[in-house]
Amino acid sequence: MPRAEILIDNARVATMAPLAGARGALAGADQGAIGLIEGAAVAVADGRILAVGPRAEVRAAIDGEPGAELNAGGRLVIPGFVDAHSHPVWAGSRAAEFEQRIAGASYVAIMEAGGGIASTVRATRAASDAALLADLLERLDALMAQGVTTLEAKTGYGLETGQELRQLALLAEADRRHPVHIVPTFLGAHAVPDEYRGRQADYVALVVEEMLPAVAAAWPGVFCDVFCDEGAFTLAESARILGRARELGLRLKAHSDEFADLGCTALAAELGAHSVDHLVAASPAGMDAMAAAGTVAVLLPGTTFGLGSSHFAPAAEMRARGVPLALGTDLNPGTCPSESMPLMLAIAARYLRLTPAEGLVAATRNAAESCGRGARAGRLEAGWPADLVLLRSPDYRDLAYRFGGNPVAGVMVGGRWTIGPAA
């Protein structure tokens, strides 16, 4: 029998693995199946979960006394949050724009006037590698402090081949230096940069003919995303970009229906995208295409809140149609400058009407599935990496019920406490 290096005892564990051996994202009636075990323990060795389950069973599964033991005092242990959608590589601030929006200017109008994403691109291009990396690492610290252990992270503030490759390299460097695991996504089609203003077709050609081959050569199999919306890329342009990305062996995602439904949701689902994200203006046809393809819906209620809007994604309709739901922060300087997954759970409960349990599955298991990490994150099962969070509360509902504070008492990544008990 193996020896446990760490035993977390006397916990409640939400495994997110209600049905042993079940694969994939949970949807419909299973969306809230958190797999709660009372009087539970988690044994950890070699960075992995050795055993998880009722205390007596876990004790019986390990050899002798554990190296270290933590009495959780009945508090909740969950898998580390997987933030399914973020844009964390940027320089500068958009506080002035925020002020304009609060005074009445719209996000799309600011973007069309050359502000918005393009303004962050100008600041980011001008920043040094060291400055961008320092900011990125600080954001990872803030995410982890609120329970994130895996982060999907997009480029998209470079918008020229060298700059986009630099953003991917910075994400890889941050992944090496920081405990949080990063899943990188190339988002060259995030906006049209200044030098291509009025020549959007030429920029799309650059993405398709130069950026995508360069990205696929340097980062095989990385995700490719596209922002298909009013003021961003058209359906035809998005189809061309995602189609080429797929030919090059990249995995797909899409920003779709954030402001307007251009038809990209069904397109991305039919192309086999892992996820379609935002979905505020999603149509029944788009939702049905996602359900048919098993595409995960990544909902970003912090963005709607961040925009001061009350028009949230139709999560109840998606759930009714059997679309698996995931959550992300959408951390970015324009619409959601927040590193808090617990806040996303709180907003999702109130405005998407996800129950606390549904939100938890969305922020762990389903989020992991949305970014291709379903086999190594988002669940607590024997053999999986020991990436987990110890909460302050014994009640899983507190995660969504309370807001504005930090519910996290400890974070473990790869079997080591990075925050809390013995960090």
Binding site for ligand NIG (CB under 6 A): 87, 116-117, 120, 227, 255, 258, 303, 330, 332-335
Nearer to ligand NIG, 9 or 258 (CB): 258
Max CA pair span of the chain: 70
Nearer Cβ to ligand NIG (184/333): 333
Nearer to Fe ion, 160 or 330 (CB): 330
Instruction: Say how far apart CA 104 and CA 102 lie, in whole Å.
Output: 5
Query: Least distance in Å: CB of 156 to ligand NIG?
Result: 7
CA dist 383 → 17, 21, 376 (Å): 13, 12, 9
Q: Write the single-letter amino acid at 277.
A: D
CA angle 35, 37, 43 (to 5 degrees): 105
Return the residue nearest Fe ion (CB atom): 330
Which of Fe ion, ligand NIG, none does residue 116 bind to, with CB < 5 to 8 Å depending on kind? ligand NIG
Least distance between ligand NIG and beta carbon 116 (Å)? 5
- Cα dihedral across residues 376, 164, 271, 331: positive or negative: positive
The site partner of 120 among Fe ion, ligand NIG, none (C-beta below 5 to 8 Å per kind) is ligand NIG
Instruction: Identify what 410 binds: Fe ion, ligand NIG, none; CB under 5 to 8 Å per kind.
Output: none
Q: CB under 5 to 8 A by kind: which of Fe ion, ligand NIG, none does 155 bind?
A: none
Q: Shortest gap between Cβ of 388 and ligand NIG (angstroms)?
A: 28
Rounded Cα gap, residues 103 and 5, in angstroms: 56
What are the distances in angstroms from CA 241 to CA 142, 186, 224? 33, 11, 9
227 binds, among Fe ion, ligand NIG, none (CB under 5 to 8 A by kind): ligand NIG
Q: Quick check: helix, strand or coil at residue 399? A: helix
Q: Which residues have CB under 8 Å from 138's CB, separation 6+?
A: none
User: Toward ligand NIG, which CB reaches closer, 258 or 358?
Assistant: 258
Q: Of 79 and 302, which CB lies nearer to ligand NIG in the complex structure?
A: 302
Residue showing tokens 């507190």: 398
Task: Please give the radius of gyration of the chain, using alpha carbons only, rounded to the nearest integer.
Answer: 21
Backbone angles phi, psi at 267, to 5 degrees: -55, -50
| Residue 305: both structure tokens together | 């809140």
Q: Where are the alpha helices (DSSP H) in 31-185?
A: 55-61, 95-102, 107-112, 117-126, 129-145, 161-177
Nearest approach in angstroms of CB 160 to ligand NIG is 17
By C-beta, is 75 or 94 nearer to ligand NIG? Answer: 94
Minimum Å distance from CB 244 to ligand NIG?
20
Residue nearest to ligand NIG (CB): 334
**Residues near Fe ion (CB under 5 A):** 330
Nearest distance in Å: CB 108, ligand NIG: 10
Could you tell me the smallest distance in angstroms from the CB atom of residue 166 to ligand NIG?
Answer: 17
**Region of residue 297 (phi > 0: left; psi between -120 and 50: alpha; otherwise: beta):** beta
169 near 97, Cβ under 8 Å? no
**Between 149 and 185, whose beta carbon lies closer to ligand NIG?**
185
Binding partner of 15, given Fe ion, ligand NIG, none, CB within 5-8 angstroms per partner class: none
- Report the residue number, 335 or 364, with the smaller CB distance to ligand NIG: 335
Q: How far is the CB of 55 from ligand NIG (least distance, A)?
A: 43
Specify the residue, 101 or 251, whose C-beta has the smaller distance to ligand NIG: 101
Minimum Å gap between C-beta 351 and ligand NIG is 16
The item of Fe ion, ligand NIG, none sharing an interface with residue 333, based on CB under 5 to 8 Å by kind, is ligand NIG
Smallest CA-to-CA distance from 186 within 136, 234, 251 is with 251
Ranges assigned E (strand) in 216-375: 223-228, 251-256, 275-278, 296-299, 325-327
Strands 251-256 and 223-228: parallel
Q: Which does 364 bind (CB under 5 to 8 A by kind): ligand NIG, Fe ion, none?
A: none
